[in-house]
Structure 1
Amino acid sequence: MDVNKLLSGFLGGQGLGAPGAAGDQGSAGGSGRGTDVQALARSAGLPGGLAGGAAAGGLVALLLGTKKGRKLGGKALKYGGLAAVGGLAYKAWRDHQQNRPSGQEPDALSLPKPPADSGFDIDNDQDAQGQDIRLSLMRAMIAAAKSDGHIDAEEHQRIRDQIADLGLGPAEKAAMFDYFSAPADARAIAALARTEAQQAEIYLASALAVDPDTPEEQRYLQDLASHMSLSEGLRGHLDLEAAAARRHAEAV
């Protein structure tokens, strides 16, 4: 399965399949990890970050296109991509460890990349099932966005139609259908995390995909944190970083 193409379809990466694009490297046997969608974004003249500024037009736009909180989370992903998830999660974790405040940085979507030995390595890490951690983050976002039941039958059909039009291979298309068809199961999403760092990343990605003012989505995040045995302290720092990302996204 070509993970880069799957993520590109979800986040809205553009230029996939162009000659010499990183997405082709994955199908040819190269890993493409760390440069994949970033390279595609640069070739298309888009901002940096794993989503490359192309969240609008990806499947994530259908998921997060309702309610202000979800829209701002989607915009944060547009400008920061999955790279921002890693940076925000690491910043929150480090602040918690050092008893420092979180969410006060002026540009929450341009945080430095976590140190190589920090455990926050989205580009190369694997989850508890031995799969690419980026797939877990995508699954976490989908589940969180669905947790209030706002996606009705018509919206499900629109999502299925867009998946069919993405030009994905059979394996990628089947995975995408599976992810969108699965229930919003906080226990199953929590079980994807192999380390505390991955718990923080999965929770942060989920927090960006919800409307923080919706009771159903708040209960989902509470359940997710509970199933991961995430401490209230760390969760508080992660929530503050997610809020900072939304504020910055609203300002740009």
Structure 2
Amino acid sequence: MELSELFWNVSIEDLKCGYTEVLDSYICLLCGKKVEKGIVYPHGDILYESERFMRIHIEESHQSVFESLIELDKKFTGLTDHQNQLLRLFFQGKNDTEVQEEMGIGSTSTIRHHRFALKEKERQARIFLTIMELLKEKDKHAPTFVPVPKSARMLDDRYNITEEEQAEIVKKYFPSEMGGRLKKFPLREKQRLVVLREIVKQLESERIYDEKELNQVLLDYYDDYALVRRYLIEYGFLDRKADGSQYWFKK
């Protein structure tokens, strides 16, 4: 199962923890790191069982689950920039007076009003989640959509892709007679997204590639590897150093 699919389908409790249990492993929902059960992991001079080691990984690699989630695009969180800043300050433990002074807005009563508005948003979210869960039990005609990568830089209709559509696009652009190579690079956004997702599956999630290594992987799929590389970065599948010396899979 892809990390994006895990991220969007785990329980709220798992999402709060930042990791979930899958078969014989714990998987970090923030980066995809996998820790096998039944193995003792060294950290400094101390040995930790797998689940505790996963919690240490989240603390050291991601600071906190809150920080990782609050940094997601506003189209994922549904938060305005103003609400985002308020939540960050509340999470830091600041009181209403400190928040008002730091943000330079209104008065402490203004901050209390914002707290109330955020609480109302929470109540609405709970009701909406419950409605959607009940709908799943009755809506037998709902298509299965391909999960949106949380690394996506923009959210629009290009991500409106069902699993059936994805399979058809893959079959069209990666015909069996071409041995898995890309027939042509698509012009339409939705098809381009599917093609890029198919190519990025071949990258090792924990590996850092230099430009030559990455180009060789992409060349196996399409002659114009520079074009594919550019779009992988543009669509948020890859990240890189500013000088282009290193590339890695962005989860």
Same fold (TM over 0.5): no
Larger radius of gyration: 2
For CA contacts below 8 A with separation 6 or more, give which structure has more relative contact order. 1
TM-score by length of 2: 0.30
TM-score by length of 1: 0.30
